[in-house]
Amino acid sequence: MRDDSARRVRWYPAVVIAVVLAFLAAGTAHNLVRNPQPLLVADGIPGRTASAQAAGDGRYADMMQDAIADLDALTLPSGATLAGWDGPWRFVWPRDASFVAAAYCSIGRSADAGRVLDFLDRIRPSTGRWEARYSDTGEPIRDGREAQLDGSGWVLWATWFCQAGGAHWELVRESADQIVTELGPNGLPGPSADYWERPEAELTLGTVAPLLTGLRSAVGIATNLQHDAEAARWNEALEKLSTATDRHFGPEYPRTRARAVGFLEPGLEPIGLGGGADAIVTVLGPPFAPARAEVDHAIDRARAVLTQPNGGVTPGEEWRTDGVAWTPETALFALSAAARGDRATAGELLTWLDHYRTSTGALPEKVNRNLQPAGEAPLGWTSALVVLAGAALDKPLPIP
């Protein structure tokens, strides 16, 4: 009987590889069908004219000018700051509004920031979490999106950044106390929707990172205003949450707690297994928190993991794998790099954002697989982040 084992050895790996490639191709095709290519909603705000004021590094003066002009157009006389001009974006997200206020303060426009903070103060929840979004007159939008605890952190940071704690002390007190109330015996809050705006069964870094920044900001405000009791109470909660965050999410700080930690060999740092990288890891470092080497490593790793073929960044590893880049997350990494002194990375990302602006100069929400601007344009959060990143290249931003 002839022995064909050698021949089988030769063709078997090729067959396995072919089967695997066919499986991957089928999966990719199915994924692209499930996630169709996003298109641009509009080129920008009708009739918007460029601002005469530039901000940040001179290489990006035009982009900064247009971003500021778009923020001006999106900020109504009441201080309500629309996330975008069209349809489902034409509402006020506390997160986006907080970044707009900070962006205004970063370029010295404290009066405009004050209008935004005044609006947030008027609509603040006296108890409970901030809603995901509000109308431009302040009514909560009940569309099935869950309330978001991270809003308490964002508004505290913006208030501190703009040195407006005295004018908005009740907002500070109520938001900080809400965070304290949410912390359990393990030092962490329960699960909450975050900037991904979906129901969450597990606690996410998207909730915890803004809360850390918010509590740190609240402590700074209370200390400056000599509210010693509040400063002590919030600082105790901050230390509790900070220790629990490192224990729960370290060493890689993924979106959700790693299922296990792998130890490669003596002398090498352990790595988290599972959990998935999330762009929100940037909020654990400057300009939102003091720099730490382990956080710098986690930020750099997350950017490498989340960068898409088109050069931009996706929100997270657990986000849909459609090859689409999101400009807010890309701008978060640009701001992080600028604030940490990595001008080369900040410049690379800002250049990418500049390249994919629309014909009116607006920063879109996304860049699709065909290298085209997509989604809403302008997106307020992206515009605010770009202004902050430009300001950080010009001079150091304050860190709570």
Locus of tokens 């990302």: 349
pLDDT over 70 percentage in the chain = 85
Q: Is residue 399 part of a domain?
A: no
Examine residue 400 and state whether it is found in any structural domain, yes or no. Answer: no
Residue 286: CATH number of its domain = 1.50.10.10
Which two three-digit tokens encode residue 92? 């006020």
User: Looking at the structure, do residues 95 and 5 belong to the same domain, yes or no?
Assistant: no
pLDDT, one tens digit per residue, over 330-346 is 999 999 999 999 999 99
76 in a structural domain = yes
pLDDT score of 249? 96
- Among residues 237, 240, 261, the alpha carbon closest in space to that of 249 is found at 261
Same domain, 46 and 154: yes
Residues 103 and 246 in one domain: yes
pLDDT value of residue 352: 98
Whether residues 8 and 127 fall in one domain: no
The contacts of residue 100 (CB under 8 Å, 6+ apart) are 71, 74, 75, 81, 113, 116, 380, 383, 384
Distances in whole angstroms, Cα of residue 248 to Cα of each of 90, 245, 251, 377? 36, 5, 9, 37
| Residue 312 in domain | yes
Residue 54 carries which DSSP code?
-
Give a yes or no: residue 184 inside a domain: yes
> Taking a C-beta distance cutoff of 8 angstroms, is the pair 131, 148 a contact?
yes
Q: Is 79 left (phi over 0), alpha (psi -120 to 50) or beta?
A: left
368 inside domain: yes
Find the range with the poorest average confidence among 42-51, 124-133, 219-228: 42-51
Are both 25 and 65 inside the same structural domain?
no
The total domain count for the chain is 2
| Cα angle 304, 306, 312; round to 5 | 95
Same domain, 59 and 135: yes
Question: What does the pLDDT read at residue 110?
Answer: 97
Residues 22 and 92 in one domain: no
| Residues 230 and 186 grouped into a single domain | yes
Judge whether 118 and 171 are in contact, CB under 8 Å. no
280 domain residue, yes or no: yes
Average pLDDT for the chain: 89
**What angle, 0 to 180 degrees and rounded to 10, lies between the N-to-C axes of helices 61-74 and 380-394?**
140
- Whether residues 15 and 81 share a domain: the answer is no
- Residue 134 CA: distances (Å) to CA of 60, 88, 94, 237: 32, 11, 8, 29
> What are 183-209's pLDDT values in tens digits?
999 999 999 999 999 999 999 999 999
Which residues are 358's β-sheet partners?
none
Q: Are residues 22 and 98 in the same domain?
A: no
**138-176 tens-digit pLDDT:** 999 998 899 999 999 999 999 999 999 999 999 999 999
Name the DSSP letter for residue 319: S
Residue 34 has pLDDT above 90, yes or no: no
Residues 6+ apart with CB under 8 A from 391: 55, 56, 103, 106, 107, 397
- Name the band, by pLDDT with cuts 50, 70 and 90, for residue 42: confident
The boundaries of the domain holding residue 29 are 1-34
DSSP run (H or E) holding 261: strand 260-262
Q: How many angstroms separate the CA atoms of 290 and 284, rounded?
A: 8
Same domain, 26 and 138: no
- Asked whether residue 356 carries a pLDDT value surpassing 70, the answer given is yes
- What does the pLDDT read at residue 24? 42
**Whether 285 and 174 share a structural domain:** yes
Q: Where are the alpha helices (DSSP H) in the chain?
A: 5-34, 61-74, 94-106, 110-123, 150-161, 169-182, 205-224, 228-249, 293-306, 327-339, 343-355, 380-394
Structure confidence at residue 111 (pLDDT): 98
